[in-house]
Amino acid sequence: MNDIELIGESRRGNEGAFAALITRYEQQVAKTVLGMLGNTPEADDIGQETFVRFYQYLHHFRGDSGLGTYLTRIAINLSLNELKRRKRSMSLFFSANIFEEKEFDQPDPDDVEDSKDTKEIVQKALQSLEPKFRSVVVLRLLDKYSTKETAEILDLPIGTVLSRLARAQTKLKSILDKLIQ
Amino acid sequence: MLDLLMKSFDKELSPDERKQLEKILSESDELRSEKKKLLKLREVFSSQEYRFKPFFESRVMNRIHKLRNGKIIEFDFAKNLFFVFKRVAISGIAAILILLISIYISEGSFSLDAFTGVESFSDDNLISYLLSDF
């Protein structure tokens, strides 16, 4: 069954059809959420919430964009909200100047060197980017959306996406220098 | 030139820009090395596999079931509240009606004097009543 048929069945209360949609898009949502939040317990929770939100708004889904894009949009917004929540809760415990807007956090080079595998190194590099840069990298490089689609999902002008991508790549290149030699 | 190189990965360049980039790429070892690095960087990212912990689908479905049950409980609570409120409202209206009838029977009218139980009620006697020393 294609997505539209599965959505139709889900609307009629067929749980098996909705479960099939979860299986079909789990990996795509995982890329977005784990890319944004890292491998944390909250990431699994946000992944679940993405599908729960979709279930709640099942009757509102018009199919203007593909289901994958629709789910990615929910996932990225929930992830950005989670990052804001983290920042707020951290600022309750630490002085505000620690959280002044920084485009990039420089990870400890030893940390990167010590990382066991490429995945971990990439994840550390990704987490060192400020959320607005990370979201662009996740959508464009991990999820492989086009620049136009990335701009639409994030509701940004294409020029902004391009400039954020360029700055993020410059940073990533310096962190992952050994890996990309 | 690096900006143009980066842009070439994400946006279609104009014929002039493409020519310019090709020319510089053919002349500059440094830029060719940058291109190689950028390609490798993109390859590293696009080859990443991400998965949630096992039984993700079951966890989502459980959450949906809980949500549905929660909605049913919520609906039942609202229904019960409305039912209780209806009974209280009916009792209240009945009590008010009985009070009005008893006032009319004992006083013969619905005047302010009848309601307050004070004859020839005026501002002056209200003030003296309030200021009086009990």
Q: Do A141 and B46 touch (CB under 8 A)?
A: yes
In this structure, of A62-76, A88-102, B41-55, B78-92, the range with the lowest mean pLDDT score is: A88-102
A101-110, A156-165, B71-80: which has the highest mean pLDDT?
A156-165
Residues of B in contact with A125 (CB under 8 A): none
Question: Domain A101-181 class?
Answer: mainly alpha
Q: pLDDT digit string (tens) for A76-96? A: 999 999 999 988 877 766 655
Delimit the domains of chain A by residue range.
Answer: 1-99, 101-181
Q: If you measure CA to CA, which chain A residue comes closest to B2?
A: A166
CA-to-CA distance for A15 and B128, rounded, in angstroms?
75
pLDDT class of A175 with cuts at 50, 70, 90: confident
CA-based angle A177:A180:B4, to the nearest 5? 85
Distance of CA B83 to CAs A59, A124, B90, Å?
31, 57, 11
Residue whose pair of structure tokens reads 């994400």 in the numeric block: B10
**A173 → chain B, closest CA residue:** B41
Place of tokens 């992830």: A79
pLDDT at residue B106, rounded to an integer: 82
Return the half-sphere exposure (C-beta side, CA atoms, 13 A cut-off) of residue A139: 34
Mean pLDDT throughout B70-76? Answer: 62
Domain covering A1-99, topology? Rna Polymerase Sigma Factor; Chain: A (1.10.1740)
β-sheet bridge partners, residue A104: A129
Q: Say which of A31, A119, A166 has its CB closest to residue B6.
A: A166
Q: Which long-range contacts (CB under 8 A, 24 or more apart) does A131-136 make?
A: A131/A36, A131/A80, A131/A83, A132/A164, A133/A103, A133/A104, A133/A164, A133/A167, A133/A168, A133/A171, A134/A35, A134/A36, A134/A168, A135/A36, A135/A76, A135/A79, A135/A80, A136/A161, A136/A164, A136/A165, A136/A168
Q: Which pLDDT tens digit goes with each residue over A27-73?
A: 999 999 999 999 888 999 999 999 999 999 988 888 888 999 999 99
Q: How far is B76 from chain A (nearest CA, A)?
A: 20
By the 8 A CB rule, do A25 and B57 touch? no
pLDDT at residue A105, rounded to an integer: 59
Widest Cα–Cα separation across chain B: 112
CA distance A123 to A38: 7
Q: Quick check: A35 and B50 CB within 8 A?
A: yes
In this structure, are residues A137 and A129 in contact, taking their beta carbons and an 8 Å threshold?
yes
Q: Which residues of A touch B38 (CB under 8 A)?
A: 169, 173
Q: What is the ipTM metric for this complex?
A: 0.79
pLDDT averaged over chain A? 86
Domains A1-99 and A101-181 share a fold: no
User: Which position has the token pair 């690096």?
Assistant: B2
Between CA B12 and CA B20 the distance in angstroms is 14
pTM over 0.90: no
B7–A173 CB contact, under 8 Å = no
